[in-house]
């Protein structure tokens, strides 16, 4: 399948796999697709190690990184970033989360990662992204993607000077226009059915809208794509390829806790919702008792990014630890980002198998569609 995307990236198939697990990124790239690592999940030192590991696996094949650079950021003291952000989390919010975990009898845990988690959340800002980009540009990345608004001008300049493709996720036509004006090369049209940060327009409608404004720039469809048929549908909508995130959470290589993966395997496509309670921005995730609690009349409103992930982070560590031991309260509350395709999860498989099956099934479907029009 040769498209504007495969030509641009020098890959065999127009399948981009986005994940926070380096094992998934390497597997997608090695299957002839293009793996993208969620760099914002890591400190700069961790990112450096992850990228080095990926390069050892992919034998020179191309891969990319994804960053979160929000347009608006909470006012903070750059010299004491974590502490100045922590101080902005209201006591009411801390008390609400603590009482929720107590209500579900989730045991407290020693949490050696808590400071690291806060550092990672606090780094979701232009300066933090810059530190991650310094690491990424020291590696042979082929693409840098951004999910939260147009990239800063210096990011685009720096990428283009290094021959790196710039991609951006968009949820509306007007966002696509702003991204193109900012110099972005590839647009990812992310429909409402996608996991993670997402808007309200479905992939069927959004993809052709973005294609219409993109001109010669390749457009990837994202959201609702976990099979070869769905990949073929994206190509029918005018996309030059697909950007898949959720499907890899059904892979062995993905590092999401097994207790959450088990919830995914049991879930239907109606069991997700868009909520601000994990990051402060609307993100699709598996519906759980956590969301019921935040919907109560006495619950506070979620905080903006990055305060909400700092608030929620400690809760997640405590929940994940207890859920891993089969704790029923923690299991009821636990959740993670996932799209509506979760309803199709049946078993965990190797990420490379998932990628190859999608590509084969897509090819078969495209041939059948060609026959239909004879």
- Of 249, 282, 281, 242, the closest CA to residue 264 belongs to 249
Comparing CB distances to a copy of itself, the nearer of 220 and 311 is 220
Q: Can you list the positions of beta strands (E) in 126-271?
A: 143-146, 165-170, 186-190, 196-197, 219-222, 241-244
Whether 81 and 53 have beta carbons less than 8 Å apart is answered as no
CA distance 291 to 266: 18
CA distance 6 to 266: 35
Q: Rule CB under 8 A: is residue 130 a binding residue for a copy of itself?
A: no
What the block records as the tokens of 323 is 């859920």
Comparing CB distances to a copy of itself, the nearer of 191 and 329 is 191
Q: Is 142 helix (H, G, I), strand (E, B) or coil?
A: coil
Q: CB 237: neighbour CB atoms within 10 A?
A: 19
Question: Which of 10, 90, 107, 268 is close enough to bind a copy of itself by CB under 8 A?
Answer: 268
Q: Rule CB under 8 A: is residue 332 a binding residue for a copy of itself?
A: no
Question: Which of 235, 250, 293, 322 is close enough to bind a copy of itself by CB under 8 A?
Answer: 235
Quote the least distance from Cβ 363 to a copy of itself, whole Å.
5
What the block records as the tokens of 353 is 């198998």
How many chain residues bind a copy of itself (CB under 8 A)?
50
Q: Rule CB under 8 A: is residue 105 a binding residue for a copy of itself?
A: no
Placement of tokens 């922590």 in the chain: 86
Comparing CB distances to a copy of itself, the nearer of 218 and 313 is 218
CA distance 337 to 319: 15
Q: Rule CB under 8 A: is residue 209 a binding residue for a copy of itself?
A: yes
Comparing CB distances to a copy of itself, the nearer of 108 and 205 is 205
Comparing CB distances to a copy of itself, the nearer of 78 and 370 is 370
Comparing CB distances to a copy of itself, the nearer of 55 and 361 is 361
Question: Which of 28, 135, 155, 232 is close enough to bind a copy of itself by CB under 8 A?
Answer: 232
DSSP state of 108: P
Placement of tokens 């990239």 in the chain: 151
Q: Which stretch binds a copy of itself (CB under 8 A): 90-98, 291-299, 345-353, 366-374?
A: 366-374
Residues contributing to the site for a copy of itself (CB under 8 A): 1-3, 172-173, 191-193, 199-206, 208-209, 223-225, 227, 229-230, 232-238, 268-270, 339-341, 343-344, 362-367, 369-373
């Amino acid at each position: 399948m040769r498209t504007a995307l495969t030509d641009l990236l020098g890959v065999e198939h127009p399948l981009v796999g986005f994940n926070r697990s380096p094992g998934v990124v390497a597997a997608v790239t090695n299957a002839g697709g293009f793996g993208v690592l969620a760099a914002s999940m890591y400190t700069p030192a961790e990112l450096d190690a992850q990228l080095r590991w990926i390069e050892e696996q992919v034998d020179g094949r191309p891969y990319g990184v994804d960053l979160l650079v929000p347009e608006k950021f909470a006012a903070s003291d750059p010299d004491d970033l974590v502490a100045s952000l922590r101080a902005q989390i209201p006591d009411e919010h801390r008390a609400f989360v603590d009482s929720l975990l107590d209500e579900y009898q989730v045991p407290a845990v020693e949490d050696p990662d808590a400071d690291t988690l806060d550092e990672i959340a606090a780094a979701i800002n232009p300066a933090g992204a810059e530190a991650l980009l310094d690491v990424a540009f020291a590696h042979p990345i082929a693409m840098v993607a951004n999910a939260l608004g147009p990239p800063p001008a210096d990011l685009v300049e720096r990428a283009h000077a290094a021959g790196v493709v710039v991609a951006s996720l968009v949820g509306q036509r007007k966002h696509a226009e702003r991204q193109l004006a900012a110099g972005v090369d590839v647009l990812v049209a992310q429909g409402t059915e996608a996991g993670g940060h997402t808007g309200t327009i479905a992939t069927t409608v959004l993809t052709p809208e973005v294609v219409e404004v993109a001109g010669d720039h390749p457009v990837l469809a994202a959201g609702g794509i976990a099979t070869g048929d769905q990949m073929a549908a994206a190509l029918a909508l005018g996309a030059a390829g697909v950007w898949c995130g959720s499907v890899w959470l059904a892979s062995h290589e993905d590092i999401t806790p097994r207790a959450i993966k088990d919830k995914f395997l049991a879930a239907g496509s109606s069991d997700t919702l868009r909520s601000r309670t994990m990051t402060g921005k609307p993100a699709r995730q598996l519906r759980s008792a956590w969301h019921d609690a935040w919907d109560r009349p006495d619950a506070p409103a979620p905080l903006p990014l990055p305060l909400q992930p700092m608030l929620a982070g400690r809760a997640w560590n405590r929940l994940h630890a207890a859920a891993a031991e089969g704790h029923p309260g923690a299991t009821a509350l636990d959740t993670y980002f996932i799209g509506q395709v979760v309803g199709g999860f049946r078993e965990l498989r190797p990420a490379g198998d998932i990628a190859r099956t999608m590509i084969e099934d897509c090819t078969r479907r495209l041939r059948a569609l060609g026959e239909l029009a004879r």
